[in-house]
Amino acid sequence: MTDTENILLNRRTIRKFTRQQVPDELLDRLLMAACRTSTTGNMQVYSIIVTRDEDIKKDLLPLHFNQKMITEAPVVLTFCADFNRFNHWCRLRNAEPGYDNFLSFLTAAIDALIAAQTFCVAAESEGLGICYLGTTTYMAHKIIEVLRLPKGVVPVTTITLGWPAEIPEQPDRLPLHGIVHREIYSEYTDSDIEKIYSAKEARDDSKSFIAENNKTTLAQVFTDVRYKKDDNVAFSKMLLQVLKDQGFMNQ
């Protein structure tokens, strides 16, 4: 097994960090690695906002549902889909950009996420810990205000970065046969689903989630508590409005 495989197969999400700072030189090397990653058409239509300032972190904290990593981690990075820079360049070079549509947002969002994951792999190879925050798209409109993002820029994910103050248990993952399809997509049978999710449902923490939330199955914890339909619809409407306000819905 290579060192990279070992890091990837043994990775953990870190939510508690020491007070030790991440040196600027190290952070810049990680950012450089992230910016060498694959990108659509070699356009690099993403930007990375690096936040160390404690006051700005405090402003971001409620927008990430008061997850303490925002203020406790030495560095917070917000990865953004960004056509603002590319559009500006096009107009300076007498080229009229046509990137004010949903496809262009999706292109930039994919670019940003690839860069984010490349950054995380590089960071973990240096012994740093990271945590993805899925709250970024929920509160994108407010994050735009705090980070002063111009039109053409939308935050798509946030990563907290620092030196681990814990070695938590590795989170569970579905078995490979539940994820990988050979040659073409193979529809799942009821029996397939039972086999794929049996280990996850048998875990002690899963049983605790069920009991704590007064549910009868783990699936109900997801559908009725963690990711409810009403919340999904509400946050979807807000995100679509953000895309319209930021200039990505002209189609």
The model's pLDDT over 8-34, given as tens digits with 9 standing for 90+, comes to: 888 999 999 999 999 999 999 999 999
pLDDT at position 165, please?
A: 97
Q: What is the pTM of this model?
A: 0.95
pLDDT reported for residue 187: 97
Instruction: Choose among 86, 26, 17, 79: nearest CA to 50.
Output: 79
- Quote the CA–CA distance of 22 and 219 in Å, as a whole number: 39
Confidence of residue 51 (pLDDT cuts 50, 70, 90): very high
Distance CA 56, CA 51 (A): 7
Edge-to-edge, what's the strand order for the sheet holding 153-162? 46-51, 75-82, 153-162, 129-133
For residue 1, pLDDT over 90 is answered with no
Residues paired with 162 in a beta bridge: 129
